[in-house]
């Protein structure tokens, strides 16, 4: 089973949102924000924000609000954004290429050091300035390049085999886009991404009213 977190995942999942909103406030040169204003912007209660931050020592002052820059810097630090991470992308198809090209990750400190694929027509070509390598080079590359995170963008058939190779070679974190429940050792962080969950939420909401109209008609 993958590594468990100390603080609850519900709290952890709210932190990037706090970070994003605070970044936006900073960009708009807003120096201070009341906890009420911040909570209204974020759609969570002020007490939820306080409770979340209390996990890390608590910030801000009652009735005075938060210093935006201070809180932003602290949450950046909590999120580990005060350092950089070496990443590799496995699978240089549509998704892998999009991720490797997305400059905002790099700006946040996630540097793509290597990209791997099995297709001979991709191997040797470049995405940005990074050459796509044969997957056969994976073990050697990991050993020599201090890789922190592997980003898995391959079809599910090969994903477990590659995940096993990654963890056997010392990778401690996998950001997994392959549609499969991977098995990884207890000390490995596994974060699965399902864009389709978000898309299906959109389609649900487009149809929600019809759903209830029909069920009322049926009664």
Burial of 144-181, coded b for 16+ CB within 10 Å and e otherwise, reads: eeebbbbbbbbeeebbeebbebbbeeebbbbbbbbebe
Given a contact cutoff of 8 angstroms between Cβ atoms, the answer to whether 167 and 140 are in contact is no
Q: Is 193 in the site for ligand NAI (CB under 6 A)?
A: yes
Residue for token pair 């994903």: 159
Annotated binding site: 91-96
Using the contact rule CB under 6 A, the part of the chain among 19-27, 89-97, 99-107, 210-218 near ligand NAI is 89-97
In angstroms, the CA 176 to CA 182 distance is 9
Q: Is 68 in the site for ligand NAI (CB under 6 A)?
A: no
- Interior CA angle at 200 toward 197 and 206, to 5°? 150
Single out the residue of 66, 85, 110, 116 in contact with ligand NAI (rule: CB under 6 A). 116
State which residue, 165 or 172, has the beta carbon closest to ligand NAI.
165
State which residue, 68 or 162, has the beta carbon closest to ligand NAI.
162
Minimal distance, residue 190 CB to ligand NAI, in Å: 13
Annotated binding site for NAD(+): 91-96
Query: By the criterion CB under 6 A, which residues form the site for ligand NAI?
Result: 90-96, 116-119, 122, 135, 153-156, 158, 162, 177-179, 193-196
């Amino acid at each position: 089973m993958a590594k468990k977190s100390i603080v609850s995942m519900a709290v952890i999942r709210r932190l990037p949102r706090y970070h994003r909103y605070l970044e936006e406030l900073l960009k708009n040169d807003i120096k201070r924000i009341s906890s009420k204003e911040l909570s209204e912007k974020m759609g969570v209660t002020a007490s939820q924000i306080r409770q979340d931050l209390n996990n890390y020592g608590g910030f801000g002052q009652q009735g005075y609000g938060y210093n935006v820059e201070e809180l932003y810097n602290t949450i950046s630090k909590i999120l580990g954004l005060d350092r950089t991470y070496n990443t590799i992308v496995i699978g240089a198809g549509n998704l892998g290429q999009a991720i490797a090209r997305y400059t905002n990750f790099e700006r946040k400190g996630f540097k793509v050091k290597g990209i791997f694929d099995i297709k001979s027509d991709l191997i040797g070509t470049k995405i940005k300035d990074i050459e796509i390598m044969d997957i056969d080079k994976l073990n050697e590359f990991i050993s020599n390049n201090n890789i922190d995170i592997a980003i898995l963008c391959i079809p599910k058939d090969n994903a477990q085999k590659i995940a096993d190779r990654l963890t056997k070679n010392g990778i401690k974190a996998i950001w997994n886009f392959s549609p499969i429940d991977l098995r990884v050792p207890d000390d490995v962080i596994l974060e699965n991404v399902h864009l389709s969950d978000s898309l299906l939420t959109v389609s649900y909401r487009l149809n929600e009213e019809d759903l209830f109209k029909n069920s009322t008609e049926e009664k």
